[in-house]
Structure 1
Amino acid sequence: MRFDHSTTIQAPPERVWEVFSNVERWPDWTPTVDSVERLDAGRLHLGARTRLRQPKLPVAVWEVTKFEDGEYFEWVSKAPGVKTTGGHRVISTPEGTVATATIIQEGPLGWLFGRLYAGLTKRYIATETEKLKEASEQSESAG
């Protein structure tokens, strides 16, 4: 199961990346995240681990498995029978900065989890990209 949502943001890609990749601050701008606990120090990087609490979902530990500074990070959370991958991409276009959130659910129970949580997952990634847009544009106009 794969879910994607993109939005165009009127802020420079560096600003959007700064907001998107600063996962500790996600609870400040999106209602889809209750709390974030980084399990290592420093900026987000390959191998970084983060405990995320979200409404209506089990607490999950996410590990960064791909990292292209300023452009993309991917992290993975594993539960019995399910591997969930979250992708976070920032691309500069002539129309503005496009931010895309992706969730992929795999494994023996991935399709079941994906189907059971499809509505919630779609709402969450749509909310996250829209709130990212608001946070990025707001701080850009304030700066």
Structure 2
Amino acid sequence: MRYEEITHIDAPVELIWSLTTRIDDWPAFLPTVQRLERLDAGELRVGSSARLKQPGQTSAVWTVTRLEPMREFTWETHRTFLRLTGRHLLEPVGAGTRMTLVLETAGRAAGVASTVFGGMMRSSLRRESTGFARRAATVHP
């Protein structure tokens, strides 16, 4: 199953990319992130991982699988019979940025997870998108 949230943010793509890839800062401005612990040092890169605690969920280790500067940050986690893939896609639009947040579920438990948690996943994407837009407004008035 695929969930998607598209938002236009009135800030340059460079700023939104910085907010997106500086994941250590996420708990300060994203209501969808309670705790985040980097499991490696340095800049975010393919193979980087972090332990992420989100509301109503147990902690999970997310690993970066694709990183295309200023365009895409993708990572995934695995649970029993379920793979979750999160994508942050950025596209410059005039002086602003179109941010597309995607959450995909796959595996034998994907159907059940989508039925039980689909509404929560959609809500989380909306809340996360709003969090990025609000943060961008505070650093790019």
* Contact 1:72–1:88 (CA under 8 A) maintained in structure 2: yes
Q: Which runs of 5+ in 1 are unaligned?
A: none
Identity %, equivalent residues: 30
- Equivalent residue, structure 2, for 1:4: 4
Letter in 2 for 1:39: L
* Contact 1:36–1:51 (CA under 8 A) maintained in structure 2: yes
CA shift, 1:50, in A, is: 0.7
TM-score (norm 1): 0.95
- Equivalent residue, structure 2, for 1:52: 52
Q: CA RMSD in A?
A: 1.0
- Equivalent residue, structure 1, for 2:15: 15
CA shift, 1:22, in A, is: 1.0
Q: For 1:117, what is the secondary structure of its paired residue?
A: helix
- Equivalent residue, structure 2, for 1:119: 119
- Equivalent residue, structure 1, for 2:84: 84
Whole-angstrom distance in 2 between the partners of 1:13 and 1:96: 7
* Contact 1:75–1:87 (CA under 8 A) maintained in structure 2: yes
Whole-angstrom distance in 2 between the partners of 1:108 and 1:28: 34
* Contact 1:8–1:95 (CA under 8 A) maintained in structure 2: no
Whole-angstrom distance in 2 between the partners of 1:108 and 1:132: 32
Q: For 2:7, what is the secondary structure of its paired residue?
A: strand
Are 2:97 and 1:107 equivalent residues in the alignment?
no
Letter in 2 for 1:74: T
Q: For 1:108, what is the secondary structure of its paired residue?
A: coil
CA shift, 1:96, in A, is: 2.2
**Number of residue-to-residue matches in the alignment:** 141
Letter in 2 for 1:9: I
Q: For 1:52, what is the secondary structure of its paired residue?
A: strand
CA shift, 1:5, in A, is: 0.3
Pair 73,14 (structure 1): closer, same or farther in 2 beyond 3 Å: same
CA shift, 1:28, in A, is: 0.5
Letter in 2 for 1:67: L
